[in-house]
Structure 1
């Protein structure tokens, strides 16, 4: 797990008592599963709605296709919803591929220009040495950024939230 200081501050503002159930709202996305195409892993729901871009490497194509604005699905507790969705995607990956490693989920949060609203964007790609979506130094991002590589990372974040309660 990697997070920049902005994300750590954003997570510190999350209510430790808040509960978000992602299964119902994200059911269309999760029920469609993960498809493998050309060495890439895509959420079938997203792949059916997005044309593949020409040019980027596999990680770039996956992040282009596997991108959801979580605030379009949830109005409150959006960061928790993004964490819960990541957990569900990791579980789906484990079920379909029989392994816990090999997938990366990314969550970013930023303020929508000219608004008090925040956008929370979720992305996913396979783990590939030398093909990282994020820079090595997350402190250079203006957005709050979180990189998760397993369900264990999500458990760690949730435990930290509960320790504050």
Structure 2
């Protein structure tokens, strides 16, 4: 059977997330569901789009559990086809070695991944991560603060995610059910 791409959505406090999955695994996650996001992903993956809700059920359920605070580890298969070799090496290292509630710096991830690339390049890899949240680029911070975040509405989403995970102390007005 040839590979296909299926999409599913899940409503979260951050909005409606769009997840793309092939027979191999999760290939994309977008912070906004839109026809343009679907078209870009399908074109980049070079795959026909099919309706396969059963395929996406585990990923969508895992995301619901994550946002409710009940899931600490995503154990979902990943399809790395939308990444380069360096991206894949860095993002695989991130996915497999930085657990919930932990952070590391861009430079530390560069060293840990064995790529020998500078912290700035690691930042670019994080910004181009096709599977944010599940491959937790929000857990990578600058040596002098949070650093940037290209997901959702930006760095406040990163702060919210790190607060959810306990890496950043909650402010008195922080609420699991309120968006950043």
Same fold (TM over 0.5): no
Instruction: Normalising by structure 1, report the TM-score.
Output: 0.27
Greater helix share, structure number: 1
| Structure with bigger RCO (C-alpha 8 Å, 6+ apart) | 1
Greater strand share, structure number: 1
